Structure 1
């Protein structure tokens, strides 16, 4: 044992010791469950459901739920698990019984849709903060400052991951909660407003699992082994503590069936002036998480980080410029080339370029929900603003094609710049006609490239479906550099 421990890192030693402690504890223990299985939970509909836990070795355990009864015997280490057949949607509270040498009753269980939301501070951003922020400038987006007071929807359930507790067995069985009162105050605003929109539109129970850490880079959410398997990092040492949060905060959730993931992270990596390396880190994370859950097609929807004055920040490591953030957005957008992914734009969701934590979390959650409703739940809705697809040139104009662009004509469009072979970009005029955007400038006779909102303080007004276009440049160097397989 000493030889085994000495070969592991300190973090892995701690986890192994915890597991060994649980095994030792279970040798003389009653039936115990992991934190993620508790009263008030939502179970994922239409998928085989894992129910697992700990008990004494060779102990018989029986699980009863929704007309199903499953029996098993614990292994020599006291581990046990059963699989329930796929469950139908149920908004009626039900009780699950787990019986061994003792009997556990989990009550008020619903069956519906379950999502994991993760990232850094903008995902962690708590509902309680809404009551203290100043009134946002964009009144059209609303301001639900009193949402916690009004929230009484028992069809929305929440689970807030405690990184120090998740891997420990649960003897209280109350880690899930109805999304109201003190539990909601501490929960992710983005996660809650996502759930509110999905629950309202689908009319079924929604469970949200929030696992985020303020200030975290992306690397701690990915295991070292996953980085080692990605060719891009073959000869690169990945910093920022790979696995630090994945091991205690994501991996223990992976037996719990879900519909998909929501991700809001990137500011910490943007401060390091990253571009294509971040795209590969996201690719690695997505592949790892899908593999951990055993489902390669789990939806992964994420947030384009909001505008911020990175160029005004001092850094001892890198030089931050006005192109630092646009290049990062570009890297984030490359990940859309992976299957079952989606990204929302937040270009218009920051009233102050010096605020790293914009207040419009209700709109971020709503926009993520629109993507899920359109792409996962096949609702016939408009879920995306314009996304650049192709460029062509005619005379002295650039003609841009977009996905998700309504064909109606519009007034003058702002936010575009245009360049010729010299590479010098100048402000451009733009107009929407016949489903295309025409971009031109009197200063450019033979255009070769166009950019939109290519700045850390974007003001462009290209919208469709009430949603902003993603920023882009047609002279994007990452298209050929980023490999999806």
Structure 2
């Protein structure tokens, strides 16, 4: 999919960055069955567009970072992209917290000043245009005022629109000693369920997902006209407008009240909007309009930060998340693309214990799918603010892990042993990605017994032997958990690099995470 009329897909533009030391591809959509010639690095490559007009050429890896240009010719047309660089390119995906722009982050003024003085050179970004809908008959794109994007060499004038987490990740990579060009490709949109990024055929292939997402969507829109959709949307917008007015009025009358407290009293912003065929929150919607735009991209790693919008349907996330990772890898034709999976930080206002369930799924997926590493920020959330303004701690920790000088990700319990000593029991939790556990503050394990009794055990240094957590109990519990709640005030277990232990819940009978 492309928005322009060029031979190359939109992502291929002047000033772009390709991964160094990795074969890469270029391609696009033209008329079907047309010959295409690509000139690059004093060599020519020939191919032909298929019956759908798609074409691509695989080019050999480039080891240097030097600037080059590439020329594409087909059917008496030509397109040149210049100022091409080679370094490290990271794909950022998800919803609002990864989308959170640097201009809104609390350290932005300091960063802007540093950029002005040239402190962080050779950083780049490309924001995938947030296309909601493309009419299959007319080709009309929504929103109508959507602008084409370009590659940006980050400076004090344009840095505000890059992902804040993405920027701090690159900053940490630079500070780790990596000198080659660094780039992020931002493919995200706030308020999105994982289901909007997955192919419809893949959703339809899972009975539960088909019923919960596709069937519900099609049943909701069945028999409605565009006038009906517009009427429902207008009513929804009026509801949102009234909510915003009520919230502003309450805050004005109670100036010492926090926004989160006010929302708990007035109510949270109505969400989601009513289904309609051109709404980006529809199942598979952004798979068709945004993910498609990066199908020719080549990346060193992918960062996925999402799950907030699936907390109202957390029971489906164990099927959604693996399917999503498969979809993205399949779309960009890189089945082993390394993924850093961001575990949701603490936030108290998720329904039930759905935030904890999402984190448990993220842990499971990282443990079972190859080349997927968990990166936890369980200690970086705010109790009643789903969008913390300090993204520096998140981005810097992520960047240190991505740099690859230490562990690949977050420490987690990868094995539990149960030892019986007469009428007493010893639970031994072995922690991966850790040489030595330690306590940062008061911390508890929650013990659930078979008689429904629940108790908390306060941890001390006596419970640690290097990377093992050891608990002695008078009876075998049914379940043991750590920080398994939407928001915990007792996040205190860290490894020697001060990365927090992932929350967990373990059934002691099944001995399964």
Category of TM-score, reference length = shorter chain? 0.7 to 0.9
Aligned residues: CA RMSD: 3.4
Q: 2:130 aligns with which of 148, 157, 163?
A: 163
Q: 1:257 aligns with which of 298, 313, 332?
A: 298
Q: 2:113 aligns with which of 130, 149, 158?
A: 149
- Structure 2 residue matching 1:164: 3-state secondary structure: coil
Q: Distance in 1 between matches of 2:23 and 2:429?
A: 46
Matched, 1:329 2:359: yes
Distance 1:91 1:478, change over 3 A: farther
- Residue 411 (structure 2) aligns with: 386
Q: Distance in 2 between matches of 1:478 and 1:262?
A: 32
Q: Write out aligned runs for 1:64-213 (5 A).
A: 64-72=39-47, 80-88=55-63, 90-99=64-73, 101-130=76-105, 133=106, 145-151=109-115, 152=118, 153-164=120-131, 175-201=150-176, 202-213=178-189
**1:166–1:249: 8 Å Cα contact kept in structure 2?**
no
Distance 1:161 1:410, change over 3 A: closer
Q: Distance in 2 between matches of 1:187 and 1:448?
A: 47
| Aligned length in residues | 423
Distance 1:81 1:284, change over 3 A: closer
**1:38–1:174: 8 Å Cα contact kept in structure 2?**
no
- Structure 1 residue matching 2:21: 3-state secondary structure: coil
Following superposition, the deviation at residue 106 of structure 1 comes to: 2.0
- Structure 1 residue matching 2:285: 3-state secondary structure: coil
Q: Write out aligned runs for 1:422-441 (5 A).
A: 422-430=451-459, 431-440=463-472
- Residue 315 (structure 1) aligns with: none
Following superposition, the deviation at residue 36 of structure 1 comes to: 0.2
Following superposition, the deviation at residue 308 of structure 1 comes to: 1.0
Matched, 1:300 2:310: no
Query: Structure 2 length normalisation: TM-score?
Result: 0.73
Q: Which moved more, 1:407-416 or 1:38-47?
A: 407-416
Q: Distance in 2 between matches of 1:283 and 1:479?
A: 22
Distance 1:51 1:479, change over 3 A: farther
- Residue 375 (structure 2) aligns with: 344
- Residue 11 (structure 2) aligns with: 36
Distance 1:215 1:79, change over 3 A: closer
- Residue 314 (structure 2) aligns with: 274
Q: Deviations over 1:272-315 (max 9, x none)?
A: 1413x10210111111111222221111222111211225xxxx
Q: Distance in 2 between matches of 1:55 and 1:280?
A: 36
**2:93–2:188: 8 Å Cα contact kept in structure 1?**
yes
Following superposition, the deviation at residue 385 of structure 1 comes to: 4.0
- Structure 2 residue matching 1:158: 3-state secondary structure: strand
Distance 1:64 1:121, change over 3 A: same
Q: Write out aligned runs for 1:4-19 (5 A).
A: none
Q: Which blocks of at least 5 consecutive residues in structure 1 are unaligned? A: 1-14, 134-142, 312-319
- Residue 498 (structure 2) aligns with: 466
Distance 1:273 1:426, change over 3 A: farther
Following superposition, the deviation at residue 418 of structure 1 comes to: 2.0
Distance 1:186 1:439, change over 3 A: same
**2:7–2:72: 8 Å Cα contact kept in structure 1?**
no
- Structure 1 residue matching 2:66: 3-state secondary structure: strand
**2:130–2:189: 8 Å Cα contact kept in structure 1?**
no
Q: Which moved more, 1:190-199 or 1:116-125?
A: 190-199
Distance 1:206 1:60, change over 3 A: same
Distance 1:122 1:478, change over 3 A: farther
- Structure 2 residue matching 1:309: 3-state secondary structure: coil
Q: Distance in 1 between matches of 2:54 and 2:354?
A: 49
Following superposition, the deviation at residue 193 of structure 1 comes to: 1.9
Q: Which blocks of at least 5 consecutive residues in structure 2 are unaligned? A: 142-146, 218-280
- Structure 1 residue matching 2:297: 3-state secondary structure: coil
Q: Distance in 1 between matches of 2:133 and 2:22?
A: 23
- Residue 329 (structure 2) aligns with: 290
- Structure 2 residue matching 1:344: 3-state secondary structure: strand
Q: Which moved more, 1:406-415 or 1:387-396?
A: 406-415
Distance 1:471 1:95, change over 3 A: same
**2:27–2:57: 8 Å Cα contact kept in structure 1?**
yes
- Residue 388 (structure 2) aligns with: 358
Following superposition, the deviation at residue 357 of structure 1 comes to: 0.4
Following superposition, the deviation at residue 76 of structure 1 comes to: 7.9
Query: Structure 1 length normalisation: TM-score?
Result: 0.77
Q: Which moved more, 1:458-467 or 1:400-409?
A: 400-409
- Structure 1 residue matching 2:331: 3-state secondary structure: helix
Following superposition, the deviation at residue 192 of structure 1 comes to: 1.9
Q: Distance in 1 between matches of 2:148 and 2:41?
A: 19
**1:409–1:433: 8 Å Cα contact kept in structure 2?**
no
Q: Distance in 2 between matches of 1:409 and 1:349?
A: 18
